[in-house]
Amino acid sequence: MNLQDLSGLLRLEREKQGLSFITVAERGGFSNESAVRRLEREDTNPTLRSLQRYANALGVKLSFNLERMTILTAFNHAGGVAKTSTVRDLGVTLAQLGAKVLLIDADPQGNLSFGLGVRETTLDQTIYPAIIDELPLPKPLEVHGLHLIPSHLDLMQLEIKIPSIIMGITNLRNAVRKLEGYDIVLIDAPPSLAPIATSAAIAADQLLVPIPTKSKGLESLSTVMNMVTSFRRAAPTLGIALFVVTQFDSRIGHHKMALESIRASLPRIAPVSSPLIYRPSVYDRAQLEGVPVPLLDPRDEAVKRSIEEIMIVATELLERLGVNYGTNAPD
Ligand SMILES: Nc1ncnc2c1ncn2[C@@H]1O[C@H](COP(=O)(O)OP(=O)(O)OP(=O)(O)O)[C@@H](O)[C@H]1O
Ligand SMILES: [Mg+2]
């Protein structure tokens, strides 16, 4: 079922419950009843976010089915392009939408773990034993409605140890593929082309490639594309799920030019997301407080906007993955 069909289903449910547009608008926090009317029209393209509010107003829960578990790695060897923020915030948002999500922090810096409020870890809780001793991945931590395999600074040792193990570079791939019970696994790779980042990329079905709308982001792209080609020797079907446009500042001329050039050149390779806007106050707070952006207080206008943007990108990703939506409303 696509979003349009879902909207039709919710309309039927509203009619069945005998609720007026005004009641749904009030319960769902819509600005007025015409926003709800618009949502029901067949020629509009509803967003998952608005349908989710609509469903809440009806007391219906949205659900979606992925045919099989999808493993995605945020990959870009350039530093500071928002790999970790993307994994953290999309992970939380997808979990809020009902997906069973596992996040894997494969970066010894541990920013993803910190960003989810996890500070104290042991090496046994990380990907280390799966890579070195080919053990199953450890029992994950439960944070903010999702599961996390955290990082530890000593993961750094893997950069030296992986090359000394025969086929060591594929051990993470093998371990992740044995997982069960998840819809989506998101792996945060470190900013390098070294063995850990390569292991993380090769573990994926598809990559999420964050690109900031500044020159550094664009410059990294040709290397990313060359790397994808070489990763395919170990992961033949590896593709790019989505280019995630990050840290976009519309007040800056070269950001606008970069966005135009991204939109002109990249869609022939993979879809380009709607932009995540540059909002240091929001993102710095999330990282410092160890609370993902989607869980910050939405009464702050900047936070609210960032949450909406992240929700849009999550929907774009789900669309790309061919997700089927449904509801728990009785027929
Ligand atoms: N939309 C945004 N607006 C403002 N700041 C942002 C935004 N997205 C990310 N940041 C900030 O940019 C910095 C880098 O982001 P992040 O850590 O997610 O990037 P990364 O690619 O994982 O970095 P690294 O390469 O070091 O692993 C962080 O301080 C983060 O809070
Ligand atoms: Mg990072």
Per-domain residue ranges for the chain? 3-60, 66-322
Q: Which residues line ligand 1 (CB under 6 A)?
A: 79-85, 107, 111, 191, 246-247, 276-280, 283-284, 287
Query: How much of the chain exceeds pLDDT 90, in percent?
Result: 76
Give the model's confidence band at 42: pLDDT under 50 very low, under 70 low, under 90 confident, else very high.
Answer: confident
- For residues 191 and 159, the answer to whether their CB atoms sit within 8 Å is no
Listing DSSP states for 212-270 in one string gives ESSHHHHHTHHHHHHHHHHHTTTSTT-EEEEEEEESB-TTSHHHHHHHHHHHHHGGGTS
Residue nearest to atom 5 of ligand 1 (CA): 280
- For residues 186 and 101, the answer to whether their CB atoms sit within 8 Å is yes
Pick the CATH number of 66-322 from 3.40.50.300, 1.10.3720.10, 3.40.50.970, 2.40.50.140: 3.40.50.300
Q: How many CB atoms lie within 10 A of CB 129?
A: 16
The tens digit of pLDDT for each residue in 255-284 reads 999 999 999 999 999 999 999 999 999 999
- For residues 308 and 279, the answer to whether their CB atoms sit within 8 Å is no
User: Does 227 score more than 70 pLDDT?
Assistant: yes
The tens digit of pLDDT for each residue in 6-15 reads 888 889 999 9
Q: Do domains 3-60 and 66-322 have the same CATH topology?
A: no
The tens digit of pLDDT for each residue in 115-170 reads 999 999 999 999 999 999 999 999 999 999 899 999 999 999 999 999 999 999 99
Amino acid at 328: N
User: Does 182 score more than 80 pLDDT?
Assistant: yes
Nearest ligand 1 atom to the CA of 278 is 3
Nearest ligand 1 atom to the CA of 247 is 1
Using the mean position of ligand 1's atoms as its centre, give its distance from the Cα of residue 242 in Å.
18
* pTM, full prediction: 0.89
The tens digit of pLDDT for each residue in 145-160 reads 899 999 999 999 999 9
- For residues 71 and 204, the answer to whether their CB atoms sit within 8 Å is yes
CA atoms of 130 and 168, how far apart (whole Å): 10
Query: What three-state secondary structure class fits 11?
Result: helix
Nearest ligand 1 atom to the CA of 88 is 18
Q: Look up tokens 């050039």; give the residue.
A: 261
CA atoms of 155 and 123, how far apart (whole Å): 7
| 253 Cβ contact partners less than 8 Å away, ≥ 6 residues apart | none
* Residues 11-21 as b or e (16 or more Cβ within 10 Å = b): bebbeeeebeb
CATH architecture of residue range(s) 3-60: Orthogonal Bundle (1.10)
For residue 157, give both structure tokens. Answer: 């040792």
**Inter-axis angle of helices 301-320 and 83-96, nearest 10:** 80
Taking a 5 Å cut-off on Cβ, the residues next to ion ligand 2 are 83-84, 111
User: Does 46 score more than 90 pLDDT?
Assistant: no
Q: Look up tokens 């371990």; give the residue.
A: 175
User: Does 43 score more than 80 pLDDT?
Assistant: no
Q: Look up tokens 């709607």; give the residue.
A: 274
CA atoms of 172 and 27, how far apart (whole Å): 46
User: Does 67 score more than 90 pLDDT?
Assistant: no
**Mean pLDDT, residues 180-199 taken together:** 97
How far CA 148 is from CA of 88, 126, 139, 188, 331, in Å, comes to 10, 9, 9, 11, 36
